[in-house]
Amino acid sequence: MSEPAEKVLSIADSITVGELAEALNLPVTTLVGELFKNGIAATINQRIDFETATIIVDELGLDVELKKKESTNGSSERRVRQLSDHAVDRPPIVAVMGHVDHGKTSLLDAILGQKVADGEAGGITQHISAYQTIRSDRAITLLDTPGHEAFAALRQHGATLTDVVIIVVAADDGVKPQTVEAIRFARSANAKIVVAINKIDKETANPQLVKTQLATEHNLNPEEWGGDVIMVEVSAKTGQNIDKLLDMVLLVADMEELKADVDVPAEGLVIESHMEVGRGAVVTLLVEQGFLRPGMFLTAGTSYGKVRTLLDFSGKASREAGPSTPVTVTGFKELPQFGDQFLVVKSEKEARARTLAARLEGERNAASTNVTGADLLKRMTQQEEAADFNVIVKADVQGSLTSVIDSLRLIETNGEVSLHVVSSGVGNITENDVRLAADGKTVIYGFNVDLPPAVKRLATRERAEVRIYSVIYELLDDAKRSMEQLLAPEVVETEVGTLELKGIFRTLRDQVIAGGLVTSGKVSAGLLARITRGDEIVGEATVASVQREKTAAKEVFEGDMCGLDLTTDRKLALEIGDKVSFFTREVVERHL
C-alpha cells in the first residue's frame, strides 16, 4: 500500500491558536504547550503569523504542510485609475535623486533660481520637497529627495510618485552607492531615467568615465552610444545646459503621453506632514487626478479634514490645484501618514465614515499578529537576554520620523541589544515624552524639533535624557554609541610565551617558587600564567618575579632556564612537566 499523501492546509497570513488547533485536529493545550516550551506564553485567542505556525507544526513533527492563502486585499497597493476618454495632458512629475553631495539640490537651485537647501541642516536634503518650474510655457513638477542613506524610505517614496527620475551623478566622483540605489528605485517604479552629469565645470570632471560606468555596470546606455538613456552634461554652478536638461525631460514626458482626468473627485498622495503652532496639521499633497479647492472635504488614511488653506509650492494662496501639482493644505483634524492616499469626498459625514473604517482596519491589522516567526526563532535560538535600549523619537515631519525609526532599527547588534521605540510622533518634545523617559532607561531623540523651556526644566528635574539633532547621521551615530555601551565588553587574552616546569622548590597556599625552560616567546614579571597538565587546566597565577641564574631578570627568552615566583589565590598542586602559558588579559569595549 502506498504512503498516505502529506496533508496540505491553507491558512491566512495570521491565525489564532484555537483556529490552528482546530485545523490540525489537535487539543489547544498541545499548541499552547509547544509555544510555551519555545518561550511564547500564548492564549487560545492570540494570533500567530504564518511563519510561527509553520515552525510549530515542524516542531510537533506533524505530517502537515501549511500553505499561505493568496491575499485578495490590495488596499496596500496604490490604486490605479482607468483614464476616461476625456483625460487631459498633465505636467510630468520628476524626482531628482542621486548620491549625497553630487549636487541634486544645487541643480534645483539652478532650475528654480532659489536656495532650496536653505534651512536644511548639514547641507543635506532631509525631506521630500516639491516645486514647479515653467519651461516653454509648460509646467514641470520637481521632487527633491534626500541623499543620505538613512532616507532610503523617502527616496523609495519619491520614486514611486514620479514619471521621470533625474539621476544626478558628479562628473568628478562617478557612480556611488546611492546612485545605484536611485537607479534601482527608478526601475522598480517603472519611471523613465534621465541622467544629469553634474559638476562638468571642475578640472577633474570626467563625464565619459561616468557614462562608461553607467553603461557597463548598470545597463544605462547613452543615446549617443546607440542606447536609449538621455544623458546631459550640466553644471549647476554655472547654469550650463540646464535648459537642455529640462527640454530633454519634456521630450521624455511627451513620449509617455502623460494624462489625467479632471472631471473626477481630486485624489493624490501625502508627501509630508507636520504640526505648526497656530496652523495645526500642515500637509503637503501631490494632486494626481481632479482639482483640489479650498472648502473641500478629504480623507487620507486615518485622518480627515476640510481644506482651510491651499498654498502653492512658493507659499502663495491658490484657488485650485490640478493634476501633478504640489500644494500645502491646512485643515486636517490630525496628521496623515506620509505616503497615504488622499481622496476628496462629498461631505464631512462621509469623510468621518471613511476615516473610521480605515482606523478600524488598521487596528485589526496591527493586532492581527501578536506572535511572529521572528519572535519565535529569536526566543528559540537566543541563549542570553539582550540588553534593552529604549527610545522616544520625535521629528518635524512624518517622512523624517519614519526614516529615523527605520534607520535606528537597522543598527546591527547581533541580537545582543534590543531597540524598543517606546513612543514616537511629529512635533516638539512634550512633558508627556519626558515623563515616559523619567525611568532613567529611555533616551528621547529629537530630530529637527525644539525643546520648550518648560519641558527642558522638567527633563532636568526628572533627569530624563534628551538629545536633539538636525542631521540624521549624527543622531544615528549617537544611538550606535549608546547601544555599544550596552554591549558586554570583550575579554582579550594575548599569549606571550610558554615554559615547561623542570623543578618545584616551594609550594605555599598563595605562592609557588619553581623553575623551568622557556619553550617559546618570553617570560616577564606581571604576566598572567595558566598551568596545564595535558588537556587539564591546573590553575592560574601571576608572575611576581623572574630570575635568571639566581639574579632578578626583567625578561627571559626562549631557550633559557629561569626561576619563577608565582602568586595565586589558592594552593596549586604543580608537577614537573606541567606546561605554563604566559599571557596578558584586557577588557576591550566592543563596537557595532
Exposure string of 372-405, with b = 16+ CB inside 10 Å and e = fewer, is bbebbeeeeeeeeeeeebbbbbbbbbbbbbbbbb
- Return the bridge partners of 164, or none: 94, 192
Q: The C-alpha cell of 553 is what? A: 631578570
* Number of other CB atoms surrounding residue 536 within 10 Å: 8
Taking 70 as the threshold, does the pLDDT of residue 155 lie above it?
no
pLDDT at 148: 45
DSSP 192-254: EEEEEEE-TTSTT--HHHHHHHHHHHH---BGGGT-SBEEEE--TTT-TTHHHHHHHHHHHHH
142 CA to centre of own chain: 25
pLDDT at 325: 93
Taking 60 as the threshold, does the pLDDT of residue 4 lie above it?
no
Helix (H, G, I), strand (E, B) or coil at 313: coil
Q: What percent of the chain is modeled with pLDDT above 90?
A: 38
pLDDT tens profile 185-244: 788 777 899 999 999 999 999 999 999 999 999 999 999 998 999 999 999 999 999 999
User: How far lies 31's CA from each of 17, 55, 56, 415, in Å?
Assistant: 7, 11, 8, 27
305 CA to centre of own chain: 31
Using the 8-state DSSP alphabet, how is residue 122 labeled? G
Statement to judge: residues 541 and 562 lie in one domain: yes
- The whole-chain average pLDDT of the chain stands at 82
Global pTM?
A: 0.60
Domain count, the chain: 5
Alpha carbon distance 574, 568 (integer Å): 12
- CATH assignment at residue 245: 3.40.50.300
pLDDT at 149: 47
pLDDT tens profile 111-142: 887 655 444 444 444 556 788 899 989 999 98
405 close to 437: Cβ distance less than 8 angstroms: no
**Lowest mean pLDDT segment, chosen from 194-198, 408-412, 446-450, 494-498:** 408-412
pLDDT at 45: 61
- Region 285-294: what's the mean pLDDT? 94
Q: Where residue 558 falls among pLDDT bands split at 50, 70, 90? A: very high
Boundary residue ending a domain (444, 468, 486): 486
Q: Please compute, for residue 57, the number of CA atoms within 13 A of its CA located in the half-sphere on the CB side.
A: 24
Statement to judge: residues 181 and 253 lie in one domain: yes
**Lowest mean pLDDT segment, chosen from 322-326, 493-497, 549-553:** 549-553
Residue 145's nearest CA partner among 94, 210, 78, 90 is 94
Q: Which domain covers residue 411, as residue numbers?
A: 384-486
pLDDT at 74: 36
- Region 169-189: what's the mean pLDDT? 85
Let me know if residue 1 belongs to a domain: no
- Return the bridge partners of 514, or none: 504, 564
Statement to judge: residues 496 and 536 lie in one domain: yes
Taking 90 as the threshold, does the pLDDT of residue 573 lie above it?
no
Alpha carbon distance 497, 514 (integer Å): 16
Helix (H, G, I), strand (E, B) or coil at 111: helix
pLDDT tens profile 330-368: 999 988 887 788 999 999 999 999 888 877 776 555 444
Statement to judge: residues 403 and 442 lie in one domain: yes
**Lowest mean pLDDT segment, chosen from 52-56, 410-414, 503-507:** 410-414
Statement to judge: residues 271 and 300 lie in one domain: yes
Taking 60 as the threshold, does the pLDDT of residue 562 lie above it?
yes
- CATH assignment at residue 329: 2.40.30.10
